[in-house]
Structure 1
Amino acid sequence: MRISLAILAATLATAAIAMPTRATADECDNAQGGQAGLNECYDKLSKKSDAELNRLYKEIETRLKDDPDTKKLLVTAQRSWVAFRNAECNFQAAGSSGGSVAPMIYSMCLDGLTKSRVEDFKGYLQCEEGDLSCPVPAAN
């Protein structure tokens, strides 16, 4: 059952990043400098998403300060997720490898997967006290 849910979640996350969200596309609609400008814009967006992810990660770590075993599981999960994200984005950008659009495709993928992980983290941070399906304690 858990494997099926994990496969479903990965499939949905991958499908969600196949095209940029409209908000993301809107932010880069007026990028200057042709493809180089688009590459730069999408790179900035992915870095912005990554900064938000890191902020939420630190908040989760703080909530887990009294639970070193679960904190260790978080670290392991996040390292594995980062490896997956990077490998997935390399795979998605493979069709444009060597082309000027490749950095944009890669950054769009990073941004999409990272935003999905951000939503996961936000969910963890909104767990209610006593929710045994949530690994992160409720805020005090």
Structure 2
Amino acid sequence: MPPRFLLALMPLLFTTVAHAVDCDNATNQGDMNQCAAQQFKAADKELNALYQQINQRLKDSPDTKKLLVSAQRSWVAFRDAECNFSASGVDGGSVYPLIYSNCTTGLTKARVEAFKTYLKCEEGDLSCPVPGA
């Protein structure tokens, strides 16, 4: 996360204490930014839970587990770089956190779906790197 993103989020740290936001009816930029950050946090939490499940299934396959770790690190780097690029048109603006969070949320949800697919592999599916439960 770039420092400018952290600076853009600083006001949110103080506004979150002041009031709860109704994300379905958010009308100001600060509330919309906060809601977008919450959506990303929820998607990231789901992603991490699925990652742990896959990691657990690979406990007897250390080489495959290392490949998962490497792939995930590369994916996180890609996600962050892609979203920095995607939001670069509003860099420094009050809408930057919203655009950046929407991007990270979208890419994270796509990764969640990929992980869910890995966790549904049929026994004997040679195209799947994750053994069945």
Common fold, TM-score beyond 0.5?
Answer: yes
Secondary structure, counterpart of 2:74 in structure 1: helix
1:30 to 2:25 alignment: yes
Same amino acid, percent of matched pairs: 67
Deviation at 1:62, TM superposition (A): 0.3
Pick from 36, 39, 44 the counterpart of residue 38 of structure 2.
44
1:14 aligns to what?
Answer: none
Q: Paired residue for 1:126?
A: 120
CA distance in 2, matches of 1:51, 1:96: 27
Offset at residue 57 of structure 1 (A): 0.1
Query: CA-atom RMSD, angstroms?
Result: 1.1
Q: Deviations over 1:10-46 (max 9, x none)?
A: xxxxxxxxxxxxxxxxx844125x0000000000000
Instruction: Count the aligned residue pairs.
Output: 112
Q: What TM-score, normalized to structure 2?
A: 0.82
- Structure 2 unaligned segments of length 5 or more: list them: 1-21
In our comparison, the structure showing a higher alpha carbon Rg is: 2
Give TM-score, length-normalised by structure 1. 0.78
Query: Partner amino acid for 1:57?
Result: Y
1: CA distance between counterparts of 2:125 and 2:26?
45
**Unpaired segments ≥5 residues, structure 1:** 1-26
3-state SS of paired residue (2:99): helix
SS in structure 2 of the partner of residue 128 of structure 1: coil
CA distance, structure 2, for counterparts of residue 72 and residue 131 of structure 1: 20
